[in-house]
Amino acid sequence: MKVMAIMGSPRGRGAGYKVVRLIEEQMKAIGPVEFEYLFLKDADLKPCIGCFNCVSKGEDKCPLKDTRADIEKKMLEADGIILSSPGYVQNVSWLMKNFMDRFAYTNHRLRFFRQKVLLVANSGGAGLNETLSAMRIALGGARVVHELGAGTPPWPQTIGAVAKKEKAINIAANKFYRACLDTSLPSPMFREYMRFLIQQRVGIECKEWLPADFEFYSGKDYFYDTKINPVMASAAKAIVGIALNMMKDMGPGVVKWPLEKKEVSPVIKN
């Protein structure tokens, strides 16, 4: 079993690292696990410049030359991925946000279907749920199997608080380990199949603006080879057709925005 831990703390080996290390120890007590850590503070992953090339034209068209492709390869080889971030102002760290931005294209062209994800957030108290929520869609296609919010205040804690935290860490480690044992591709659920249909339609209808999506979705029945329940498929296609018709104003049109202001003749006062 391979697990890759993406560490989003600017401190590197701070409180969040201690939590993930305890998860590693617990998992290795259950069975053999190969752990690899990626500390984003040390990674060659340049700040996203918002050019949109990775989404529209393809990730290989990103102008930033760094190890982004190597990081993706390692994640795809892993059975499980841990995303760990401290909560800063009730959100992820800038390092984790940049990581998410650099892999935003995977939410257009999903790929991490085999990988199980454990989310880990730590803070002095507030913002744990918000930090976890921000990371839920970081990797397109991956299934989040558990979320762990750990209070790590800068002062000593009570025995009760420590016991509660250690119990939560053990639960997370055990649940994550069991989930990672299943390396099969999951059968699509109704909501997942609907997402595929919507993104496929958008990619085809917006091929001029999203050529990478058009190429990715053309000729596919789903993101990967699998059997699709025909009853589910019929129902999903009907609902998606209605939904997209109601959302037609979001699709391609002929009006460029912002609208050009027409020149107004000045009013001449007598």
DSSP state letters, 106-140: GGTS---SS-EEEEEEEESBTBHHHHHHHHTTSST
Residues 209-222 have a mean pLDDT of 96
pLDDT above 70: residue 264:
no
Which residues, including other chains, have CB under 8 Å from residue 146's CB and lie 6 or more apart? 118, 119, 171, 172, 175, 176, 179
Q: Determine if the pTM surpasses 0.85.
A: yes
Q: How far apart are CA 253 and CA 102, in angstroms?
A: 29
Kindly report the backbone phi and psi dihedral angles of residue 193, in degrees, each rounded to the nearest multiple of 5, phi listed first.
Answer: -70, -35
Q: Across the chain, what does the average pLDDT equal? A: 93
SS (H, E, C) 180-220: HCCCCCCCCCHHHHHHHHHHHHHHHHCCCCCHHHHHHHCCC
What are the tens digits of pLDDT across the range 174-208? 999 999 999 999 889 999 999 999 999 999 999 99
pLDDT cut 90: percent of the chain above it: 85
pLDDT above 90: residue 168:
yes
What are the tens digits of pLDDT across the range 9-62? 999 899 999 999 999 999 999 999 999 999 999 999 999 999 999 999 999 999
Which residue ranges make up each domain of the chain? 2-180, 190-250
117 token code pair: 């994800």
Q: How far apart are CA 160 and CA 164, in angstroms?
A: 6
Q: How far apart are CA 268 and CA 35, in angstroms?
A: 77
The predicted pLDDT at position 256 comes to 81
Domain 2-180 superfamily per CATH:
Flavodoxin domain (3.40.50.360)
Residues 109-138 have a mean pLDDT of 95
Better-predicted residue by pLDDT, 260 or 234: 234
Kindly report the backbone phi and psi dihedral angles of residue 161, in degrees, each rounded to the nearest multiple of 5, phi listed first.
Answer: -65, -40
Residues 82-110 have a mean pLDDT of 97
